[in-house]
Amino acid sequence: MRIPITIPTEPIGSIPRPVALIERVAKSDSEDPDLAPLYEDAIRDTIERFEATGSPVVTDGEQRKYANFATYAVHGLPNTAPDGFKIPFSDGHTRRLPRLTRGPFRYKRYADGYLDVAMRYAHVPLKQAVISPSALSLMYPAKRIPDYSREQFIDDLLREHETEIRRCLQKGALKVQVDFTEGRLAVKIDPSGHLLKTFIDLNNLALSRFSPAEYGRIGVHTCPGNDFDSTHSADVDYAEWLPSLFELKAGNFYIALAGERDRRQVLKIIREHLRPDQRIFVGVTAPIDPHIETPEEVRDRVLEASEYIPIEQLGTTDDCGFSPFSDDTSTSRDTAFAKIHARVLGTALAETLIGAR
C-alpha cells in the first residue's frame, strides 16, 4: 500500500489592502482609532477569502502592518527620523527606513498583536511574518549615536526580535517567518560579500537563541523585493548568496523561484547546499506577474522542483507577499487570491502524481 505524500503549502504574508482602507489611512494616520473598524473588516474579509482558497495555512494579509513589512515594529517611534537607509527599486522609485536618532532602541509593537486579532477569525492555522534583525540594523546611522553604541543597539535589537518571535510562538503561530529580503540586496550593495556575511552572522546570533524544537517552527523568506511590480535585486545571481542562506539556523526556507529566469539553475544550487533538517518552500506563483498561474502550471513547477529537492523536504509558497508595502495597489485582492487558489490546487495535483509513482 502506498502512503500518501503531503507537500505543505504556505503563503508569505501580505495581501493588498482594500482600496477604501488605503485611501482613509492616507487622509489621517495609520494609528487613528477611528480606523479600527476598517482594519477589523479588512482582516475578517482577508481571512475569509484566504480560507475560501483552500489554503491550509493563512495570514491576516498584514492588513495592519504599517507602513510595510519592515518598519511596522518601529513605525511612530519618537527617537527616529524619516531619512534612513534607502531601498532602490528597478523602476527608479525608492523606499526608506527610519533612522535611529538616540537610544535606547525598543520596538513600538510586536507582531503577535496581529495574531491576537487574526485568531478571532481564523479556522485554520495562522502563520506570522516578522522583520529580520539585519533589516532593522540598517536603522543605526553610519555616524555613531552619542552615548548609545552600535553594540548596545545590536544587543537591544536582538532581544526585541527574540521577544517578538517567542510571543508569536507562544500565541500559537504555526510558523514564524523572518523576512530577509535584504539578503540578496546586500550582495548588490556590497559585491565583496562582507555585508551579506554581517547579516547572516547577526541573524544567526538571534536564531541560535531558539531550541531545536522551535527551529522547526521558524523560517526565513528571501526574494528580490516586490513593490509596485518592481524588484530591488533580481539582477543578483542566486549562486552568489544562496549557499550563505542555508547557514541560517532555521528549519524552513521560503524562496522566490517562479519569477526567476533559470529555475533549474537555482534548484541545482539549492540541492547542493540545503541541509537535511531544512524544508524548502519554493515559490510557484509570482505576485509581480499579472498573469494568474493555472493549477497545471503550478503542478509542473512542483514536479520540476521535486527533481532536485527530496520530497520530504519540499513545500510550496508564493514568491513574495502580494503587497509588502501597505499602499501598493499594483496587484488587486482578486488577483492575489486567484494566484493563491492556483498554488493550492496545483500543489495538490503534484502531490497526487508524485504519490502515484
Among residues 231, 229, 130, the alpha carbon closest in space to that of 171 is found at 130
Separation of alpha carbons 159 and 106, rounded Å: 9
Place of cell 533549474: 264
Q: How far is the CB of 11 from Zn ion (least distance, A)?
A: 11
Nearer to Zn ion, 105 or 259 (CB): 259
Q: How far is the CB of 66 from Zn ion (least distance, A)?
A: 18
Nearer to Zn ion, 178 or 223 (CB): 223
Separation of alpha carbons 328 and 348, rounded Å: 30
3-state DSSP assignment of residue 130 = strand
Query: Checking DSSP bridges between strand 94-96 and strand 86-88, what pairing results, if any?
Result: antiparallel
Nearer to Zn ion, 153 or 225 (CB): 225
Place of cell 551579506: 196
With 0-12 / 13-18 / 19 or more C-beta atoms within 10 angstroms meaning exposed / middle / buried, residue 18 is middle
3-state DSSP assignment of residue 206 = helix
How many C-beta atoms surround the C-beta of residue 57 within 10 A? 18
Q: How far is the CB of 233 from Zn ion (least distance, A)?
A: 11
Q: How far is the CB of 171 from Zn ion (least distance, A)?
A: 23
Calculate the CA dihedral of residues 242, 286, 46, 161 and round it to 10 degrees.
20
Q: How far is the CB of 222 from Zn ion (least distance, A)?
A: 7
How many C-beta atoms surround the C-beta of residue 302 within 10 A? 27
Q: How far is the CB of 254 from Zn ion (least distance, A)?
A: 8
269 φ, ψ (degrees, to nearest 5): -65, -40
Separation of alpha carbons 98 and 79, rounded Å: 10
Residues of this chain that interact with Zn ion (CB under 5 A) are 181, 223, 320
Nearer to Zn ion, 121 or 238 (CB): 238
Nearer to Zn ion, 306 or 317 (CB): 317
Nearer to Zn ion, 80 or 177 (CB): 177
Task: Give the amino acid at 335.
Answer: T
Nearer to Zn ion, 12 or 173 (CB): 12
What the block records as the C-alpha cell of 120 is 478571532
What the block records as the C-alpha cell of 288 is 509581480
Nearer to Zn ion, 80 or 181 (CB): 181
Q: How far is the CB of 55 from Zn ion (least distance, A)?
A: 17
Separation of alpha carbons 88 and 95, rounded Å: 7
Separation of alpha carbons 265 and 260, rounded Å: 9
Q: How far is the CB of 331 from Zn ion (least distance, A)?
A: 13
Query: Checking DSSP bridges between strand 99-100 and strand 86-88, what pairing results, if any?
Result: unpaired
Nearer to Zn ion, 223 or 342 (CB): 223
Q: How far is the CB of 257 from Zn ion (least distance, A)?
A: 12
Place of cell 536582538: 158
Among residues 58, 7, 135, 25, the alpha carbon closest in space to that of 341 is found at 58
Q: How far is the CB of 69 from Zn ion (least distance, A)?
A: 8
Nearer to Zn ion, 121 or 283 (CB): 283
